[in-house]
Amino acid sequence: MIVKPGAVIDFLLANQNAKDPYQIDWSKAKRMLKSLRIKASPSNREYKITGLSDKPCREQTFTLKQKNGDGGMQEVETSVYDYFTHHRRIPLQYSGDFPCINVGKPKHPTFIPLELCSLVSLQRYTKALSNLQRASLVEKSRQKPQERMRTLTDALKTSNYKADPLLGSAGISINDQFTQVDGRILPTPKLRVGDDQDLFPRNGRWNFNQKRLVEPVKLERWAAVNFSARCDVRKLCMDLQRCGKMKGIFINPPFQHIFEENQQYRRNPAPVRVEKMLEELKSKLPAPPQFLLCILPERKNSDLYGPWKKRNLADLGIVTQCIAPTKINDQYLTNVLLKINAKLGGMNSFLTTELAPTLPQISKVPTIIIGMDVSHGSPGRADAPSIAAVVSSRQWPFISRYRAAVCTQSPKLEMIDSLFKKVSDTEDEGLFRELLRDFYVSSKNVKPEHIIIFRDGVSESQFNQVINIELNQIIEACNHLEEDWSPKFTVIVAQKNHHTRFFQTNSPDNVPPGTVIDNAVCHPKTNDFYMCAHAGPIGTTRPTHYHILHDEIGFSADDMQELVHSLSYVYQRSTTAISVVAPICYAHLAAAQVAQFIKFDEISEATSSHGGVSTAGTVLVPPLPRLHKNVRSSMFFC
């Protein structure tokens, strides 16, 4: 992404979709502008932005040295606005009410009024994109299979690699035709829903029309909270009850009082708004609620989301569902109910193979399935701690129920360093011990004999580290828990960030769901395969590349591919097969949600008990608040 050159104020208005400068969120603006280059008029000198002033231009002062009547120098305190308008005779039209651009150093700031600054051309924008920008980027970059094939073919012809003398002298030739590979389509797993009905997904999709959830919950004590969103909350609650009844979820009417935000708090900081709302809830509710429905004024990236989730999940132990509805219909309400049901301990559907149970290598031997992912700070936020998330299956022989353990670690550190943390001969504060204990308790005091680990987000150069660092920690955690216990391990890495695409030879459509390719384009020596488990209605399907790094369990190729395919159908949030196995998706969701607990803007290098090591040395990071015992084993991330 390239920054559009021009006035800084125009960039901010467009970026935040604001109508005038008074609507700009200046804390967000500070993050957007940091490290961008500007030209300041009238000098036309180029600077790098380091931040914004704390006060508006009229109020931001600095010490000016000027000559006095005796020929000496005197120091005078003046505002940035007065300096530019009176001393430099530069008229300012609107900058007086807004922060100044800071191009100096932390101890020696240099302030320039906003309207005198223009962004220079050809700058890469490395910050996180807004929802609107991301949607626009996806819209412009997606291509249907035939269109992508044509683009690639034209690029090969234009490049004319056959005529390149350097490639020819090195004996390198590049084929201008697509490689032909043989693929297989795996049979679609069958699902079990309510009333012992079987559900047969078609083209990677299914729905709950005239169907009930397999394990619906009872929602008896709950309340609805509205943070100044334009929404008929009473009608929403009634529609939710009606739709829940059709899906088998018993939903009592909410607490009679709809908790609307007091307008006088609307412009307060998000943590203050959350606290005021929780105070009102506490004063009017007769008992702690089982569930809170929270209506937010904006979709995604709401400042209220993090503080709200933190207070409820970490401090109060209350399950919450945040929504920002724009168009409410039965499909929307069903999707919301799927999440609520899973969070409260219910299940929407099971695989018939896990109920039978006939899953290869899993149903007959106690097996725990692990998903691991590390979430790093958004682009341009190099000092933000990374969040490591590990999810594990529970209640064997099921493979549809999961719980999560999450912690912080050093910024940009990809290897999880807190899987095993020995405190004493009997104490281990690592993430894995917590998950093993939960599996043991939830599976009727059965220890796992097989441990299957799915890892996301690592490249080929890090495969050895996954085995030598992360798997070794897991083995140590098992040995520390019980010295004579030796489970078998299988480690699989899933990769989505690659450029391999598959096309059907005689069809303009994407490859069908369940397509597996394990020949020709796979590694000749290692065990890997590509799978398109999901339907690709938009653009060209991107397959997931699975690498089996370590396999003590002894899966056959067919059994491994069947397991991976099955795990793409147990994702409780949706009624579609997903592109990567559910444990990895859940780990990603858990890391992303818990990352909102800490406002990373205000963190540099705080202390923590989870010290991590990076290339710069030991970096101490702040710990995450521990989840409340009421929600610790739930699918709060769903």
Q: Where are the domains of the chain?
A: 2-126, 216-343, 350-496+546-619
If you average pLDDT over residues 261-273, what whole number do you get?
90
If you average pLDDT over residues 239-247, what whole number do you get?
95
Q: Alpha-carbon distance 480 to 516, whole Å?
A: 39
Token pair of 392 as six digits? 């594990």
- DSSP output for 64-95: EEEE-TTS-EEEEEEEHHHIIIIIS----SSG
If you average pLDDT over residues 447-472, what whole number do you get?
96
If you average pLDDT over residues 29-44, what whole number do you get?
92
Predicted local confidence at residue 379, as pLDDT: 64
Residue 294 has pLDDT above 60, yes or no: yes
Q: How far is CA 205 from CA 125, 189, 215, 381, 576, in A?
A: 37, 11, 20, 38, 4
- DSSP output for 152-165: HHHHHHHHTGGG-H
Instruction: Please name the helix (run of DSSP H) or strand (run of DSSP E) that holds residue 491, with its range, or none.
Output: strand 488-495
Contact assessment for residue 342 and residue 384, using Cβ atoms and an 8 Å cutoff: no
Q: What is the pLDDT of residues 118-160, one digit of tens each?
A: 999 989 887 777 767 777 777 777 889 999 999 999 998 888 8
Domain spanning 216-343: which CATH class is it, in words?
Answer: alpha beta
- Which range, of 14-18, 319-323, 453-457, averages the lowest pLDDT? 14-18
> Does the 2-126 domain belong in CATH 3.40.50.300?
no
**Alpha carbon 405 to chain centroid distance?**
15
Q: What is the pLDDT of residues 192-223, one digit of tens each?
A: 999 999 999 999 999 999 999 999 999 999 99
Predicted local confidence at residue 396, as pLDDT: 95
Predicted local confidence at residue 141, as pLDDT: 77
Phi then psi for residue 539, to 5 deg, are 70, -155
Other C-beta atoms closer than 10 Å to the C-beta of 21 total: 17
If you average pLDDT over residues 354-363, what whole number do you get?
90
Residue 604 has pLDDT above 60, yes or no: no
Predicted local confidence at residue 617, as pLDDT: 46
Phi then psi for residue 83, to 5 deg, are -60, -45
Q: Alpha-carbon distance 564 to 492, whole Å?
A: 10
Predicted local confidence at residue 605, as pLDDT: 34
pLDDT band of residue 306 (cuts 50, 70, 90) is very high
Q: What is the pLDDT of residues 55-83, one digit of tens each?
A: 999 999 999 988 876 767 788 899 999 99
Residue 473 has pLDDT above 60, yes or no: yes
Burial class of 321 by CB neighbour count within 10 A (0 to 12, 13 to 18, 19+): middle
Contact assessment for residue 436 and residue 446, using Cβ atoms and an 8 Å cutoff: no
Q: What is the pLDDT of residues 76-105, one digit of tens each?
A: 899 999 999 999 999 999 999 999 999 999
> Look-up: residue for tokens 């200046």?
26
Q: What percent of the chain has pLDDT over 70?
A: 95
Residue 450 has pLDDT above 60, yes or no: yes
User: Bridge-partner residues for 490, per DSSP?
Assistant: 452, 551
Which residues, in sequence order, are CB contacts of 518 under 8 Å at separation 6+?
Answer: 528, 529, 530, 557, 561
Residue 508 has pLDDT above 60, yes or no: yes
> Which pTM was predicted?
0.85
- Average pLDDT of the residues of the chain: 90
CATH number, span 350-496+546-619: 3.30.420.10
Q: What is the pLDDT of residues 433-444, one digit of tens each?
A: 999 999 999 999
Predicted local confidence at residue 380, as pLDDT: 60
Contact assessment for residue 273 and residue 266, using Cβ atoms and an 8 Å cutoff: yes
Of 519, 548, 601, the C-alpha closest to 31 is 601
Q: What percent of the chain has pLDDT over 90?
A: 72
Q: Alpha-carbon distance 191 to 576, whole Å?
A: 12
Of 548, 543, 529, the C-alpha closest to 579 is 543
Q: Alpha-carbon distance 160 to 249, whole Å?
A: 62
pLDDT band of residue 610 (cuts 50, 70, 90) is very low
Q: Alpha-carbon distance 125 to 291, whole Å?
A: 40
pLDDT band of residue 619 (cuts 50, 70, 90) is low
User: Bridge-partner residues for 77, per DSSP?
Assistant: 63
Residue 602 has pLDDT above 60, yes or no: no
Residue 612 has pLDDT above 60, yes or no: no
Residue 609 has pLDDT above 60, yes or no: no
Of 237, 211, 212, 357, the C-alpha closest to 295 is 237
